[in-house]
Amino acid sequence: MKKTGAQIVNECLVQEGVKVVFGYPGGAIMPVHDAMLDYPIHHVLTRHEQGAVFAADGYARTTGDVGVCIATSGPGATNLVTGIATAMMDSSPVICITGQVAAHLIGGDAFQEVDVTGITLPITKHNYLVTSADQLAEVFKEAFFIARSGRPGPVLIDICKNAQVEEAEFDYPKEISLPGYKPPKHADMNLLEDAAKMIGEAKRPVILAGHGVLMSGAMEDLRLFAEKTQTPVAMTLLGLGSIPASHPYSLGMMGMHGEAYCNQAIQNSDLLLAFGMRFDDRVTGHLRTYAPRARKIHVEIDPSEIDKNVEVDVPLVGDLKTVLEDITPIVSPKDNEEWLDQIKEWREETEARDILSWPDEEKLHSAHVIRDFWQKTGGDSIVTTGVGQHQMWAAQYYQFEQPYKFITSGGAGTMGFGLPSALGAWFANPDKEVWTVEGDGSFQMSLNELATVVQEGANIKILLINNSYLGMVRQWQEFFFDKRYAATPITGPDFVKLSEAYGVPAKRVTKSGDMENAIEFAQNTPGPVLIEYQVEKEESVYPMVPAGAALDEMIRRPITQKKASS
């Protein structure tokens, strides 16, 4: 059966179960958009191509399935680059479809011609340049397979305009086999036995749970392993939700802005079990001083991550869920109560420093805002964030009991991610309560997507932390640059009026006593709502591990006397 290349693109998307794509049209991709009108695919018109790829990323992270975005050639394609890099750093399965000039014009500097496959080669798991329609079906089958298999990641398909209008026979492959690409499932049995022996000998073990726990769907396997071996679980930023925050073995978040007691546990451990994490520098602190007395077991599906940053004693290359299913039956039950009691002491000392213990002086602190938000939503919302201080406060004070509830840019740290990723998360979960926690700097990078949210009738709630600074950079300037606030004070519009101009109801909170009904107002108002919190301007995120310091050499908040109970 012959079809145009544009029709074949849409046929392939339907075959892969795609129901929604996020994008922006243009001349070089117009045939695909035209053909899409005849297929059961909903196109979401974002207000910027970067918003499209962020939305596809948010869709993917909440479902584990592939998110799809589409853009035209030239500036349309290059506007996807930051989002593609974000997805690559965080192993998010995204398919990016771009238009390209006709094949015979390539290399001639035609209108809106850019070598987007060359540009994105370092930031995609794979990419394709399609020059004829008869290539499309096999390319799409391979692209979806590559994006979602093994360690997931973004794949870009650049389609010349002639390939969209010419006809070809359409026969979608049922299976795909790529020579040399065989993502591992099971780790070597001898190494599993070595790991089990090492686990049995450990007195102070800590599990480091990363994004791979969620990507492999290994949450229950992780819990069973932790309970059998009495091993506490520290989580990376993207690993939050791997184990419920309320679980007695949960240590919360590790790293630069992680819980102090969590970092102390890692530094004093004698065995680290790295589950689906890559020893990022924000997690380790100075490598020479990282967990100096700990042996290390690394479970990782991507063999290139083994020994890349931290040398390990036992590498277990395979799918995390499968590896845990294989190793849990052969480890012996453990009694680590003495170690857990030590961590409990460190936890109590950490809690004594927490800002939640400070007296209520009607000042509006960001930590109080996030904790009130968590309590009012029952911890059951999908929460996306931008990047900055508000991101860290959300990670610290919103207690995630379930997986796939926290969507944020980790490895790339991409500002502007919050609102468009919430749009993607809502399309994937229209029956869920979706919030985005934004900062006034990050929000201003993508607030044009308010128009998209309104056009689509997306029920997204926006919690805006406004401290009139680029807060995280300002914090570094306070600590390390003698409070020389260079290029960090930031003005903004009247966010309430701006939201209302877009058709989004909004409310402003300026002191702690006004917080009471703000979240309920958003929850009880149909459609999108914005709540702006004008918080203390020079607050800092604690603890903080300075650059070049050991993980437990943290700048910590001073202990403040708790408010006496009446």
Any idea which residues carry the catalytic annotation? 49, 111-112, 161, 472
The distance from CA 512 to its chain's CA centroid, rounded to whole angstroms, is 30
HEC string for 542-559: CCECCCCCCCCCCECCCC
Q: Which residues contact 444 (CB under 8 A, 6 or more apart)?
A: 490, 492
516-521: list long-range contacts, CB under 8 Å, 24+ apart: 519/372, 519/373, 519/376, 519/377, 520/376
DSSP structural state of residue 563: P
Strands 460-466 and 434-439: parallel
Instruction: Give the phi and the psi of residue 234 in degrees, each rounded to 5.
Output: -95, 145
Angle at 455 between CA 453 and CA 456, to 5 degrees: 65
Length of the chain counted residue by residue = 566
DSSP state of 500: H
Q: Can you tell me the distance from the alpha carbon of 248 to that of 340, in angstroms, rounded to the nearest whole number?
A: 10
Instruction: Specify the 3-state DSSP secondary structure of 71.
Output: strand
What is the full DSSP assignment across 472-486? HHHHHHHHHSTT---
Among 243, 224, 214, 404, smallest CA distance to 320 is for 214
CA gap 39, 507 in Å, rounded: 40
Q: Strand pairing partners for 407?
A: 384
Q: Alpha helix locations (H) across 402-481?
A: 418-428, 440-443, 450-456, 471-480
**Stretch (H or E) spanning 79:** none
Q: Are 477 and 486 in contact (CB under 8 A)?
A: yes
If 0-12 CB within 10 Å is exposed, 13-18 middle and 19+ buried, where does residue 564 land? exposed
Burial grade of 463 (CB within 10 A; 0-12, 13-18, 19 or more): buried
